[in-house]
Amino acid sequence: MNPIKVLLQTTIVPSDNDWSVARFGLLAKMLMAQRGEGGEPMFEVTARDRETRGAPDPVLATLDRSDFDEMWLFAVDTGEGLLPEDIRGINAFRGSGRGLLVTRDHMDLGCCVCALDGVGAAHHFHTRNVEPLPGAQRDDPYTLNISWPNIHTGANGDFQEIRVVGEIHPVLQDGASPGGAIRHLPSHPHEGAISAPAGFNARVIAQGRSAVTGRSANLAVAFEATATGGRAIAQSTFHHFADYNWDPRIGCPSFVEEAPGDAMMRVPAARAAVELYARNVASWLGGKGPNG
């Protein structure tokens, strides 16, 4: 069986002091290490940043003509991270039936994804596709230079307990869990806001809870395949997949101010749950079952 071809892609050019794709190396390594029942690789992973600023990216702009089965888009830019040509390529890629994960972070970080068909409507920002009240309000009271949306689910390096919404979605299945579902994802001091937009065969599949206000917050929205597009996941923050959130000893960009936790290092079951979630997502987006 041929491996699922996965593209891990950011919206910035390479940088040693930003959330470039090198800071998602544990995710890439974990996916590449997965093997099927016969010992064959489950995934073939390509990880890359944008090639240039201010010009269409040669891969994104022609993504629909590539042989990738799915793309994980980490929208880590603070401005226009996707050009119209890039958006056309991504929309055509998913329109051809292939899988797409789109994730961002707080406030307006990654707001370029709003232009993407369907899955872009799931993401709410400070100035674009604003979440209706009462969601449009500050939740994180500590990092004052970051405004809403900024759901505080805990420290980087710690984990949060998630609540499964509705029937357990394939990406949340865990046969070893007493309830049959994954229960942990990394926490983050200021996650973004997402919802399930009407008319796109989408639903919220997982929620977390603010460690400050106790309010519920959507963590993942799943889009089922339709005649006009492949499967997709909208994730509230790219920090669920970042090296720093899986193992804070690896380090982070210098602009990160908050002190990290260490629960992900102390509780192996939490790290295993996060890795299973990523594996399930990669399998499901590629059109296969959650466990290969």
In the numeric block, the tokens 């720093």 are attached to 244
Q: Mean of the per-residue pLDDT values for the chain?
A: 95
CA 159/CA 5 separation, integer angstroms: 29
**290 domain residue, yes or no:** no
Structural domain count of the chain: 1
- For residues 68 and 81, what is the distance between their CA atoms, to the nearest angstrom? 21
CA-to-CA separations, 140 to 121, 135, 180, 211, in angstroms, rounded: 24, 13, 32, 9
Domain-located, residue 292: no
Residue-wise pLDDT tens digits, 21-66: 999 999 999 999 999 989 999 999 999 999 999 999 999 999 999 9
Is residue 291 one of the residues assigned to a domain? no
Give the pLDDT band of residue 100 (cuts 50, 70, 90): very high
pLDDT number for residue 292 = 42
Residue 182 lies in a domain: yes
Structure token digits, residue 22: 């090198």
CATH number at residue 154: 3.40.50.880
pLDDT tens string 183-195: 999 999 999 999 9
Tokens 């005649």 label which residue? 227
Q: What is the torsional sign of CA 58, 22, 269, 157?
A: negative
Instruction: Tell me the two tokens of residue 292.
Output: 């290969």
Does residue 112 belong to any structural domain of this protein?
Answer: yes
Provide the domain limits for residue 256.
4-285
How far is 202 from 196, CA to CA, in rounded Å? Answer: 6
The DSSP symbol for 118 reads T
DSSP three-state, residue 68: coil
DSSP code for 229: B
Q: Which helix (H) or strand (E) holds 266?
A: helix 263-266
One-letter amino acid at 255 equals F
| pLDDT tens-digit readout, 223-268 | 999 999 999 999 999 999 999 999 999 999 999 999 999 999 999 9
| Residue whose tokens read 């370029």 | 112
Q: What pLDDT does 79 receive?
A: 83
- Domain assignment present for 187: yes
On the question of pLDDT at 104 being above 90, the answer is: yes
The whole-number pLDDT of residue 137 equals 84
What is the band of 136 on the pLDDT scale with cuts at 50, 70, 90?
Answer: confident
Helix, strand or coil, per DSSP, at residue 169: coil
In a domain, 18, yes or no: yes
| Cα gap 250→247, rounded to integer Å | 6
Instruction: Read off the pTM.
Output: 0.96
Asked if residue 96 belongs to a domain, the reply is yes
